[in-house]
Amino acid sequence: MMLQRTAPTLENVRIAQRTYRLRLECPEIAARIRPGQFLMLRLPNTSDPLLGRPFAFYDTIDDTSGRPFALDVVYLVVGKMTSRLADVRAGEPIELWGPLGNGFADPGPIDEALFVAGGIGQTPFLAFARQLLGRRGYAGAAAQQRTERIRLLYGVRSADLAAGIEDFRAQGVDVALASDDGSLGQRGYVTQLLPTTAPRGPVYGCGPEPMLHALAQWAKHVSARCWVSLETPMACGIGACFSCVTRVQTDTGWDYKRVCVDGPIFDAAKLLWEHPND
């Protein structure tokens, strides 16, 4: 059930170049949100920008009794909203609504999971990694281990943009890195780190659309089941405006699906990466 709240900022700290972790005190939403879901955030008392922006859920924070009372998002400063968000200080309010979207489905017991992230695309995966490894339950569910091994392939333009690597390693996730300029890990695209054969479990991707398209093609080639989290711009987040549609294959051809309510997680094999008439 979606809630709309105004929450005080607990922290807004820089964790990489132009990258911040924002912590909001909102026990009601923190208790309901699941990995893969997202939030819409808006700066109060301003009409510039007028609309909210979507932000992937990073993780929840528990109080001393073990109940979630706050939640984190990690964002990259790229435009007016995020530039102004970076100036928010502790104690200042933020309007938010959520949880939104479908989130990651429970894969059941698996041998391993492979995460592939580009740019700021690592953000949906920390909570999901903790869930799969049995470190934490979300939305009232008890912690339940689904796998003992998770690999994260993470690509950035340069080393100073890499954010949250130690958060993943602290959970026991194996991290392999790539950068466009060779300043971190292997030089080149993150998709160049993909194995030549299918992993022993599902694949999950988040990042720029060209990366996701390449990941979907690889998954099809090696017969791997692949799910992707789309980074589609949104205006409302609740399915009313139809500004975030994507093309999905159906039994009779194709149709538009709203990323905010039908996603943001989609089966990569069902997405139409090019226009059907091309």
The tens digit of pLDDT for each residue in 68-117 reads: 999 999 999 999 999 999 999 999 999 999 999 999 999 999 999 999 99
113-231 has CATH 3.40.50.1000 classification: no
Query: Topology of domain 3-100, per CATH?
Result: Elongation Factor Tu (Ef-tu); domain 3 (2.40.30)
Write out the two tokens for 196.
């030549």
Mean pLDDT of the chain: 94
As a whole number, mean pLDDT of residues 124-143 equals 97
Can you give the chain as a three-state secondary structure string?
CCEEEEEEEEEEEEEECCEEEEEEECHHHHCCCCCCCEEEEECCCCCCCCCCEEEEEEEEEECCCCCEEEEEEEEECCCHHHHHHCCCCCCCEEEEEEEECCCCCCCCCCCCEEEEEECCCCCCHHHHHHHHCCCCCCCCCCCCCCCCCEEEEEEECCHHHCCCHHHHHHCCCEEEEEECCCCCCEECCHHHHCCCCCCCCCEEEECCHHHHHHHHHHHHHHCCCEEEECCCCCCCCCCCCCCCEEEEEECCEEEEEEHHHHCCEEEHHHECCCCCCC
Domain boundaries, the chain: 3-100, 113-231
Flag whether pLDDT at 275 surpasses 60.
no
- Output the pTM of the full model: 0.95
The share of the chain scoring above pLDDT 90, in percent, equals: 88
The better pLDDT of the pair 243, 27 is held by 27
As a whole number, mean pLDDT of residues 170-192 equals 97
As a whole number, mean pLDDT of residues 11-37 equals 97
In the block, tokens 């995966």 appear at 125
Flag whether pLDDT at 277 surpasses 90.
no
pLDDT band at residue 6 under the 50/70/90 scheme:
very high
pLDDT at 278: 47
